[in-house]
């Protein structure tokens, strides 16, 4: 995926220099930038300080104090308080002494 993003970034730079005032090329440039950002968001860690995940979706969790990531979820209670949970666990990550510092969406499952 990194190779694709690098290639697309190169193409965007080429479009910037060759597109000039051509409206068609400017449209292609805007679309290429949108696609690059979409792919970057789906393949990069997102800091919990920048944004929290949607609730009930399984995501990959990164921990401030543990080197291996885990699959988990983020839930918000009726009072509006949120917490991260590993897998289907009922106890939050914090209750195990694990502090989530970032998360990312999971790739789509394989369908062969």
Higher pLDDT, 60 or 26: 60
Residue 61, Cβ density class (10 Å: 0-12 exposed, 13-18 middle, ≥19 buried): buried
What distance in Å separates the CA atoms of residue 87 and residue 85, rounded to the nearest whole number?
A: 6
Query: Is the pLDDT confidence value at 36 over 60?
Result: yes
Helix (H, G, I), strand (E, B) or coil at 105: strand
pLDDT > 90 in the chain, percent: 47
Residue position matching structure tokens 């399984």:
58
9 CB contacts (<8 Å, ≥6 apart)?
A: 36
Are 29 and 15 a contacting pair, CB within 8 Å? yes
């Amino acid at each position: 995926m990194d190779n694709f993003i690098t290639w697309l970034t190169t193409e965007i730079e080429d479009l910037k220099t060759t597109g000039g005032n051509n409206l068609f090329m400017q449209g292609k440039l805007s679309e290429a930038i949108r696609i690059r950002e979409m792919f970057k968001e789906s393949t990069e860690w997102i800091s919990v300080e920048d944004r929290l995940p949607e609730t009930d979706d399984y995501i990959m969790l990164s921990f401030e104090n543990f080197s291996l990531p885990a699959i988990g979820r983020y839930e918000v209670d009726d009072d509006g308080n949120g917490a991260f949970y590993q897998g289907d666990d009922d106890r939050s990550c914090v209750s195990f002494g694990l502090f989530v510092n970032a998360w990312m969406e999971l790739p789509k499952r394989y369908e062969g």
